[in-house]
Amino acid sequence: MKAKFRKSLRTAVSFLHRWTGLVLGLVLVLAGLSGSLLAFDHELDGWLNAPMLRNTAGHCAAPLPPSAAARAVQQAWPGATVGAITLPQAPGDSYRVQFKHAETTANEAGVDACTGLLLASRDRDAVTLDRAHLMPLLLRWHMTLLQGKTGREVLGWLALAWVALLLGGLYLAWPRPGHWRRSLSVTRGVSAFRTSYELHRAAGLIAALLLLVVAGTGFFMGLPQLGRQLVASVATVPPDARAAALAPLAPGEAEIGWDGAAAKARELSPTDATLVMLRRDPARGVYQARMRRAPDRVAASPG
């Protein structure tokens, strides 16, 4: 009876594993290729768009403060709302300023960190493969399938299906005691089908742990609230600093501004952390500071 049940279970898992793999295969290949390029996003985008993302004179010993970058954009587009500033991460890098203005489709500008001059701008949301928009397009595809929040959630569920696919594969490929060597080897001189099967089995067993980490983190990135709820069911989850909110500024109370937020973030962060980005969220009364030691975040009050 047990043998019959195990055979039926194995047949069902094999069927689901095969068809889930076929359905997910194209998405996983495209996500893997885009992710491989995005691992070098800073270098590739800088190479493709040097006039916008590199200072005109190269490295300067004392870059201007973030407020100078915001000011350059607001001078070019009076009334523009600056939402985020990415700080120079390597010698010669410019500031990257994300903004909104009704009279332009551009939403990101490069500002020379040495002189404060506006270098160039682009629309990060444009769906085009030219050099100015290639890397932002790949990022949006990788994170949202170009479908915003809905696409991000779809990817989260696909990542969960990938976890199930991997667990099913482990169940099917897990060797009996004493057969590990055979399961991790590929027989020579057999049919192409047999070679492909053994290669798939060996590669899956070797890479399973890494792939489970990738799939699991993809699930948490796509469905963060559900992920937090699952973790909270078995462990204590600290409050999300990104959800911090403060009362609006009192009349006459001054905002700390971009430079004050940068100083506060550095003050509150570990000494070996590097400030990567500042984001202003006036609706919640905070600045968010993203540090290089991901996923550390520090929220600083505008007051």
- pTM here is 0.83
In a domain, 40, yes or no: no
Residue 298's pLDDT is 41
Residue 69's pLDDT is 98
In a domain, 300, yes or no: no
Verify that 227 and 273 share a domain, yes or no.
no
Local structure of 291: helix, strand or coil = strand
pLDDT at position 251 over 80: no
Sheet holding 286-291, edge to edge: 118-122, 108-111, 95-100, 81-86, 275-281, 286-291, 297-300
Q: What is the average pLDDT score of the chain?
A: 90
Query: Can you tell me the mean pLDDT for 276-301?
Result: 75
Query: Can you tell me the mean pLDDT for 168-191?
Result: 89
Rounded CA separation 74/67 (Å): 10
Verify that 266 and 198 share a domain, yes or no.
no
In a domain, 207, yes or no: yes
Q: pLDDT tier at 168 (50, 70, 90 boundaries)?
A: very high
Token pair recorded at residue 188: 């020579």
Rounded CA separation 154/223 (Å): 9
In the chain, how many domains are there? 2
Q: Tell the burial category of 244 from Cβ atoms under 10 Å away from its Cβ (0-12, 13-18, 19+).
A: middle
Query: Can you tell me the mean pLDDT for 257-270?
Result: 93
Verify that 232 and 261 share a domain, yes or no.
no
In a domain, 215, yes or no: yes
Amino acid at 80: A
Token pair recorded at residue 158: 């696909």
Verify that 163 and 219 share a domain, yes or no.
yes
Query: Can you tell me the mean pLDDT for 237-256?
Result: 74
Structural domain of 266: 255-293
Q: Are strands 286-291 and 118-122 parallel, antiparallel or unpaired?
A: unpaired
Verify that 152 and 186 share a domain, yes or no.
yes
Verify that 285 and 219 share a domain, yes or no.
no
Residue 179's pLDDT is 84
Q: Are strands 275-281 and 118-122 parallel, antiparallel or unpaired?
A: unpaired
Verify that 233 and 283 share a domain, yes or no.
no
Residues 6 or more apart whose Cβ sits within 8 Å of residue 66: 85, 87, 95, 258, 259, 262, 278
Verify that 170 and 214 share a domain, yes or no.
yes
Token pair recorded at residue 48: 């493709």
Residue 133's pLDDT is 97
Verify that 198 and 284 share a domain, yes or no.
no
In a domain, 197, yes or no: yes
74 within 8 A of 18, measured Cβ to Cβ: no
Verify that 177 and 204 share a domain, yes or no.
yes
To 10 degrees, what angle do helices 2-38 and 134-144 make? 160
In a domain, 113, yes or no: no
